[in-house]
Chain A
Amino acid sequence: VTFEQYAAAGLDALLRFAVVLTNDRGLAEDVVQEVLLRAERRWEYITGLDHPEAYLRRMVVNEFLSWRRKWARIIPHPSAQADRPADADHAAEYAERAELLAEVAKLPRQQRVVLVLRYFEDLPDAEIALILGCTASTVRGYALRGLRALRIELADAATGRPAEA
Chain B
Amino acid sequence: MRTENDLRAAFAAKAEEAPRADAVRRAVARRYADRRARRHWTLSMATLTAVVVVAAAGCFALIRYGGDSMKSGSSAGSGGGLSQKAPAVSGAAGAAEPVCRPADLALSLGWRRAATGLVGTVTAVNHGRTACDLAVRPTVRPISAAGTVLAVATLNPAGRPAGARQLLPDARASAAISWPAWCGPPAGHLAQIGWNGHFVQVRVTGPATTPGCAYGAPTRMTSSWFGPLS
Contacts and interface: CB of A to CB of B under 8 A. Distances in A.
B32 interface: yes
Interface in B1-36: 1-15, 17-19, 21, 23-25, 27-28, 31-32, 35
A97 interface: yes
A33 B14 contact: no
Interface residues of A, number: 41
B5 to A, nearest CB: 6
A161 B8 CA distance: 13
A156 B19 contact: no
A101 B32 contact: no
Is the contact region of chain A dominated by helix, strand, or loop, or is it mixed?
helix
A71 interface: no
A139 interface: no
Interface residues of B, number: 27
Contact of A156 (B5, B11, B14, B23): B5
B2 A151 contact: yes
Most buried by A among B3, B9, B14, B27: B14
B32 A37 contact: yes
Contacts of A161: 4
Given A33-B28, A36-B28, A37-B32, A25 B18 contact: yes
Interface in A1-51: 7-8, 11-12, 15-20, 23, 25-26, 28-29, 32-33, 36-37, 40
